[in-house]
Chains A and B, each alone.
Chain A
Amino acid sequence: MRFELTRFPFVRSLLKNRWLQFLIWVVLLAGFLFAILSGLFGTPVGNHNFGIVFVWIAWWAVLILVAVPFFGRGWCAVCPIPLPGEWFQRGALMDPPQKKPRRINLRWPNRLRNIWLQNLTFTLVALFSSIILTTPRVTAIVLAAMFFLAIGMSIVFERRTFCRYICPVGGFIGLYAQAAPLELRVKDKQVCLACQDKPCYHGSQAGYGCPWDVFPGSLTKNTYCGLCMECLRTCPYDNIAVNTRPFSSDLARPSTRMDEAFKAFIMLGAALIYAGVFLGPWGSLKLAAWSVGSTAWFGYAVAFLAFIFGLLPALFLGAVWFGKLLTKATTTLKKSFTALSTAIIPLGLMFWVAFSLSFVLTNAAYILSSLSDPFGWGWNLFASAAIPWQPILTNILLPLQTLVLVGGLLWTISTARKAASEVKVSPVPVIVFSTAATLVMLGLLL
């Protein structure tokens, strides 16, 4: 079922060549800095500020509706945030220089080699999201903080430690990339085993060692492969392939890690809460989420954390425990829990797609007006500044969301059955849990 895209010499050379990626980088870096600039100096009115409109409407739409579901970590391959730090680390933008520059290049501490920090950074962003998503200045500060943190970490540590361990976005992209129909894998593992120098990991004159600290020869899932194509450039045996594959491929192999399991719950819970806060009719809830620092907000924050880290995993754990009871399985509860949490991955992804469809279609009109007047300074670059706000495709929004959620549930059921059979527990309680969550989400969206 896999089809190797890199078998075509044209595709292979396009991906191996640094220029295509670099040119995209330049454009995106300029756009990224422009978003920070407009956030800092443009109008404080969110829906007329390029920073808000292009980051949280345009970019988010592309990311969650297209890039993640179809290309997995495709965004990470062109994300401009690591560019300056990597330039410093490598001493070059193109091919490796003759003389490797001397850098601090500390290894990332073993204890932190997991995505718990990413779980934390995402949760932090999520707690303040009402402010971040609507206030240009705050968006600019968050983007700038990510940008400078990435640079700082590149100066101190080796490879892309920010992307791999800190980036609040990277965590969930990695999680959902497992479901994507695109992968980078080695063609023949024996070649990697026999390979002496492993330039894909250590680097060579042809390219840099894996920035994501991954040995391609051992890749079995998409989670931590950033699709940067360095190994494609360095492999002396042309043993790296970029393949298309069926959706959901990596999910057949259930997760065994608690950090990844919790990532799935954080994303699922956040989608449910956002749907309630941003799309629901409860004004006091919106106000509580928005009034950062107030008593109401602290109440909201506690409820948010309790729901995501307490209630949701606890209910799921109950479901897993019950499933274990039904089959009298001998697998440990922890192992069954992490394995079955894999089923929540497609559910969460589809929750996010359905939720994002609402506000993306509702607010897409702002993209055109903001393009002409990015700072809200009264410009009209493309004569589209005066285009009035109007939601688009409203007639297909609800059917589309329902389709996405029901499809997500079916996908989850199939994933749950596979994962359950691996650990020999009954999937039924988890399916009931997922169905209930889908019904709640449907209720919030419709």
Chain B
Amino acid sequence: MKRSELLSRILIISGVLLVLAVPFAVQSIRSQGVIEIHGRMAEAGGWSPNVIHAQVGVPLHLRLTSDDVMHGFAIGQSPVPAVDVLPGQMTDMTMTFDQPGTYTYYCTHWCGPNHWRMRGTIEVTGDALASPQPLTPPLYVTLKLDIDAPHPAPVTPARVPDAVHGAQFSALLPAGVLSPDYYRSHSPEQAFQDLKAVSSLASLTDSDLWDLVAWLWQSNTTPADLSQGQRLFAQNCAACHGETGSGNGVFSADIKTLAGKTPANLSNPSTMLGAAPALLQGKLLRGGMGTGMPSWGPILTDQQTWDLIAYLYSLQFNPVSIPAH
């Protein structure tokens, strides 16, 4: 064989081998110790992988990318801020867990009607570094509430109750109703009936009593909590329940197709004033109810859950005094 022929063959074979081998070699070095997570719309498979294993105290390196539309990545009940997951681009993030357990990661952008099904879990094993939080069953479990039963309020106010007007009667309230436990375990309608039976409030009209209930509910939250609740609502609930809670979010028609029911109307006085905060807590944490309602238990912290509930009630009362965030 002539030298030129030999040289050309060497060139072409090495060129081809180089192209075939180098990318994978480089990539295998780059991805050592990194878990690559691909996001796809839930209809196309959701997160891949959707189960990750990690060790307590050992940094977990994640490399996130989307294979279709923009997604977001956040870990439930975790202070790690959510990141955007962009199509065709990699986002690196590193986190360390100090408690063993199962953590849920989820999509934070409304990527499709099944957006909330885009979830995965991180199984963290090892010994706890910090002292673990004591586990207590959620209030709705302790109260043995049937969260699937209908809960219409037998009576509803003639007009929207006004917390500012109710404030002037607040000194007349019996001490028992002022505790957070009372607020969480009673529906506004139950509180109304209880107040109606209090002799010191006998001179008040029904409207005055409802105003007092509005004040009582508002006194169990803070503007900052309401603001946080509003943010959570806009981020997680409005897609289905609508921006005003009336059940007409952008995905409501899809939800009707998927689950057979449109999302609940959270602006309806009868259902909302007939529900105790603990009942709403149950619906939020467990989800289900034969509807498309996802389970938020693994995602929202206890505080976030109560903030969201307080915000839902604020839709029933005047004024909705939420500072801009």
**Chain A positions near chain B (C-beta within 8 angstroms):** 18-19, 22-23, 25-27, 29-30, 33-34, 37-38, 41, 43-45, 47-49, 83, 92-95, 97, 373-379
B residues 286-316 with Cβ under 8 Å of A? none
CA distance A80 to B15 in the complex (A): 13
* Complex contacts, B23 vs chain A, CB 8 Å: 34, 37-38, 41, 374-375
B9 and chain A: residue at smallest CB distance: A93
Question: B8 touching A378 by the CB < 8 A rule?
Answer: no
B64 and chain A: residue at smallest CB distance: A378
How many residue pairs at the A-B interface have CB separations less than 8 Å? 78
A34 and chain B: residue at smallest CB distance: B19
Question: A43 touching B88 by the CB < 8 A rule?
Answer: yes
- Contacting residue for B26 out of A18, A44, A92, A379, CB 8 A: A379
Question: A47 touching B4 by the CB < 8 A rule?
Answer: no
- Contacting residue for B11 out of A26, A37, A43, A83, CB 8 A: A26
Query: A231 → chain B, closest Cβ, in Å?
Result: 21
Question: A93 touching B12 by the CB < 8 A rule?
Answer: yes
Nearest 8 CB-CB pairings of A with B: A48-B88, A378-B90, A45-B88, A45-B87, A93-B8, A376-B88, A30-B19, A43-B88
* Complex contacts, B181 vs chain A, CB 8 Å: none
* Complex contacts, A18 vs chain B, CB 8 Å: 4, 8
**Range of interface residues on B (Cβ < 8 Å):** 20 to 34
- Contacting residue for B4 out of A23, A43, A48, A94, CB 8 A: A94
**Chain B positions near chain A (C-beta within 8 angstroms):** 2, 4-5, 8-9, 11-12, 15-16, 18-20, 23-24, 26-27, 30, 63, 65-68, 87-90, 92
Query: A182 → chain B, closest Cβ, in Å?
Result: 27
Tell me the dominant secondary structure on chain B's binding face: helix
B89 and chain A: residue at smallest CB distance: A48
Contacts A29-B12, A37-B19, A37-B23 known; A44 to B2 CB distance under 8 Å? no
Question: A48 touching B87 by the CB < 8 A rule?
Answer: yes
Question: A45 touching B68 by the CB < 8 A rule?
Answer: yes
12 further A-B contacts with Cβ under 8 Å, apart from A43-B65, A92-B5, are: A29-B15, A34-B23, A37-B20, A44-B67, A45-B87, A45-B88, A48-B88, A373-B89, A375-B23, A376-B65, A377-B90, A379-B30
* Complex contacts, A49 vs chain B, CB 8 Å: 88
* Complex contacts, B11 vs chain A, CB 8 Å: 22-23, 26
Question: B15 touching A95 by the CB < 8 A rule?
Answer: no
B4 and chain A: residue at smallest CB distance: A94
- Contacting residue for A94 out of B5, B26, B68, CB 8 A: B5
Query: A150 → chain B, closest Cβ, in Å?
Result: 16
CA distance A48 to B89 in the complex (A): 8
A45 and chain B: residue at smallest CB distance: B88
Question: B15 touching A378 by the CB < 8 A rule?
Answer: no
CA distance A374 to B24 in the complex (A): 12
Query: B297 → chain A, closest Cβ, in Å?
Result: 33
* Complex contacts, A378 vs chain B, CB 8 Å: 30, 63, 65, 89-90, 92
CA distance A27 to B11 in the complex (A): 10
